[in-house]
Chains A and B, each alone.
Chain A
Amino acid sequence: NAGVTQTPKFRVLKTGQSMTLLCAQDMNHEYMYWYRQDPGMGLRLIHYSVGEGTTAKGEVPDGYNVSRLKKQNFLLGLESAAPSQTSVYFCASSWGQTDTQYFGPGTRLTVL
């Protein structure tokens, strides 16, 4: 089992560029999450999904979009990147909303 994987691991964007981060899990989990982690801010929830075809906003959704077309994949999109989106992005998955979350290795994104 690979668990939760994320691609890419690193990315540098220029302001205004777009990109998509891919998260994949092989544990058949229903719930998937996207977080960003910034120094002194902790993990903040961007968007989450409670099942295939569903998405919902978290604490800091502005500037991001997500899609969950397949149960095992959760995509995070930045349509027009801004320097404020420079961060480390983590994907996670869980069986249910109160269950342990399994995290991916993270994507370090820099927006110049």
Chain B
Amino acid sequence: QKEVEQDPGPLSVPEGAIVSLNCTYSNSAFQYFMWYRQYSRKGPELLMYTYSSGNKEDGRFTAQVDKSSKYISLFIRDSQPSDSATYLCAMWGISGGSYIPTFGRGTSLIVHP
């Protein structure tokens, strides 16, 4: 079992839909939970990160962490064609005294007009 599981998609939705992107993980020692957006042929862009269970909202984006279920989600409201990208989740835990990330493979999102 991989430490972080993420459905690669693609996930295709109409403009204006609510998008739900998810990751599961197996290592209970992970402390930080992050979401990145990566456009084609670009580097990833950090969208949001959370430290504990619960919700965090930033504009149209909401990150949700459920540590008891080892499950994290990213919700995108009122999705736009410009949201079409690959979304990566990452869990950060301490290894050798430093925080080290473990990434999911990414979910490809397509928002069509």
The answer to whether A and B come from one shared complex is no
Residues of A with Cβ closer than 8 Å to B? none
Query: Interface on B for A, CB 8 Å cutoff?
Result: none
